[in-house]
Amino acid sequence: MNKEKLTRWLVSGPPFLFMVVFFVLPALIMVVASFRFPGEHGGLAPMFENSSWQFTLETYQFFFSDFIYTEIFLKSFLIAGLTTVICIAMAYPVALLITRVPKRFRDVMILLVVLPFASNFLIRVYAWMIILGPQSAFSVAINSVVTAFGFEPVPLLFSPFAVIVGMVYVHLPFMVLPLYTNLEKHDPILLDAAQDLGANAWRRFWKVTWPLSLPGVYAGSALVFIPVLGMFAVPDILGGTGDILIGNLIKEQFLGTRDWPFGSTLSIMLTLAVLAIAALAMRFSRKSLSYA
């Protein structure tokens, strides 16, 4: 019996310990940091100074003191939402296609979807810098159409449009895979039955396939929405000076202004948002499972 317990500790101990020290502890420190004062010259002020504990709610007050921070949060939610919707629209045909293809091709098709992932994330973003740049063939083509209608040439790069394109491009495979996993499990009998009952292709999709696929949609949405919320590199590279999201703010606080308490507060807010979304996704996917 003792040997069993010993083995258990030996096997689960090291990873557990590692994660507690390098994941849980830093998270707790960040929570505490959000209640501390900023150091005179950046960083954090000492926790115990002038014979008293130096804690404060001022960073949270500061967050709510001006609408700009809430505004940036809302903008981030909007961009994340748009990205998710576009991803669903683009991933669905692909996922459906993969399910309809003979089994021996499926792995290859999935591989093809995942392969762009093999490239570094920055490369994927940089590729769009080239395509949307003012001198690229694509830009020139679009703008020649635009100016033909008498409008001023539109800068495609360094705009919210570029940010969304970049976000969608980076996260698309996240949506395809969960969706496919779900669609694969659908029983084709259901669709045959619907057809026998006289439903056309659109109704079959809308009344049968779509509801059944909702758990997959929610799973994929969570996998897209959450990372997009925290992303800073895409707006940083593809966006204009005004296209900053939460991630950019956090980065600025830690590496630029050195206001670590406020940066921690922003991170806590982001974490809360992420937890809320994750909880929502789980609730919805459980609810829709009960319908299936």
Partner 1 sequence: MWFAALLVYLFLYLPLTVVVIYSFNDSRLNAEWVGFTWRWYEVLFQDEEMIQAAVNSILIALGASLIATMLGTMAGIAMHRYKLKALPFLVITPVAMPEILLGVSLLLFFIQVLHLTLGLLSVLIAHITFCVGFVAIVIRARLAGMDESIFEAARDLGATPWQTFRLVTLPLIMPAVIAGALMSFTLSIDDFVITFFTAGVGVSTLPLQIYSMIKIAVTPEVNAVSTLLMLLTLGMILLAARFDKTVLRGETR
Partner 2 sequence: MLTDRRHCSLNSGWIATAAMPPRNDVTASTLKGIKPKGPWRSSQVVRLIKVVFVLLATLTSSQVLARDELNLYNWNNYISDETVSRFEQSCRCKLVQDYYSDNEEMLAKLAAGASGYDLIVPTGNAVESLIKSKQLRPINKLLLPNLRNIDPAYLNTAFDPGNRYSVPYAYTITLIGYNAEKMHELGLPTDTWAVVFEPKYLKKLKGRVTVLDSQRELMSAALKYLGYSVNDTDEAHWRRARDLIIRAKPYWAAFNASSYIKELTIGNIWLAHGYSNDMFQAQMDAKHAGRPFNIAYATPKEGAVLALDSMVLHKTGPRPDLAHRFINFMLEGKNSAELTNLIGSGNPNRDAMQYIDPAIAANKAVFLTPDIQRRLEMLKDLDRNQRRVLSRMWTEIKVR
Cβ pair 96, 186 in contact under 8 A: no
Per-residue binder mask for partner 2 (CB under 8 A), 218-237, x = binder: ------------------x-
12 binds, among partner 2, partner 1, none (CB under 5 to 8 A by kind): partner 1
Among 250, 259, 281, 285, binds partner 1 (CB under 8 A): 250
φ, ψ for residue 66, nearest 5 deg: -135, 140
What is the pairing mode between strands 48-49 and 52-53? antiparallel
What residues between 133 and 162 interact with partner 1 by CB under 8 A? 133, 135-137
Question: Can you count the helices (H) and strands (E) in the chain?
Answer: 14, 2
Cβ pair 159, 192 in contact under 8 A: no
38 strand-pairing partners:
44
Distance CA 226, CA 51 (A): 42
106 binds, among partner 2, partner 1, none (CB under 5 to 8 A by kind): none
Per-residue binder mask for partner 1 (CB under 8 A), 90-119, x = binder: xx-xx-xx---------x--xxxxxxxxxx
Closer CB to partner 1, 159 or 271, in the complex: 271
Among 126, 155, 159, 284, binds partner 1 (CB under 8 A): 126
The one-letter amino acid code at 147 reads T
142 binds, among partner 2, partner 1, none (CB under 5 to 8 A by kind): none
Distance CA 214, CA 292 (A): 9
The answer to the question of residue 251 lying near partner 2 (CB under 8 A) is: yes
Query: Residue 37's closest CA among 50, 22, 27?
Result: 50
What residues between 48 and 87 interact with partner 1 by CB under 8 A? none
Size of the site for partner 1 (CB under 8 A): 83
